[in-house]
Amino acid sequence: MRPLHKRTNLEFLYQNVTTDRAKLAEMSCMAPRTFRRNFKILEDTGKLERRTGSGRPRTLTPGNLQKLTKLALENAVFSGKLVKRELEKDINIKIGVRTVYRNLAESGIVKKKARKIPKMTPVHKEKRENFCKNWNIEHFFDNVIISDESMVDLERNTLRQWSKVDEVPVKESTKFPEKLMIFGALSLKGFWVKILPKNTSVNSQKYIEIIRELIHVANKWYP
């Protein structure tokens, strides 16, 4: 999502949050002189209308923009240059690659790496459908143990924090953060969890020891 323009943000705050001058000055993140000018306009008119600019008008009309978005979505693997070339053939107007990317971004269309999924043939789909139809789930998990392991980074910094527009929140971290390795197993007979001490290295020998411990528990569940 594109960030709100400061004028748009100020207008929204004035109309929906507060009309207090001091609070708006702090919340708008504008330069003092710019804020005073825009605040006076808000007091006089109640809104901040965009002034007619003297710059170059937009290259693409709404109709051309619609053609651009349709072309990009129907040809998702096209590069910006290819999209530009095909659109120019259609509308007979010379445009730049940056114009293509900017207008697509404003329309909410960006380039992303495709997520891989298994390629399903009709035979695969038919087999899966038949499996689901014939699967007797009532007693399927009676003799099943599901096990897995996971590593937890105790200093992982993925949480977003509220902060002012011109400030960046910080979080202290170490060069080698502490980690936990957790093993677990689950069945209808019970569950088993093993948490290793912090920063424990798990080599082949250690892994074998953990599996042996799990087998010992499994033998109690299913003697």
In a domain? residue 73: no
* First and final C-alpha spacing in the chain: 57
Residue type, 159: L
The number of folded domains in the chain is 2
Work out whether strand 179-187 and strand 190-195 pair parallel, antiparallel, or are unpaired.
antiparallel
In a domain? residue 71: no
In a domain? residue 82: no
In whole angstroms, give the CA distance from residue 91 to residue 64: 7
Interval 190-211: pLDDT, tens: 999 999 988 888 899 999 999 9
Closest CA to 16 of 53, 51, 46: 46
pTM of the entire structure? Answer: 0.40
In a domain? residue 115: no
User: Could you tell me the residue range of the domain that residue 29 belongs to?
Assistant: 6-45
Structure tokens at 142: 């009676």
Interval 111-138: pLDDT, tens: 888 888 778 889 998 998 888 887 776 7
In a domain? residue 148: yes
In a domain? residue 131: no
In a domain? residue 77: no
In a domain? residue 41: yes
DSSP readout, 41-103? HHHHHSS-PPPPP-SPPPSS-HHHHHHHHHHHHHTTT--HHHHHHHHHHHH-----HHHHHHH
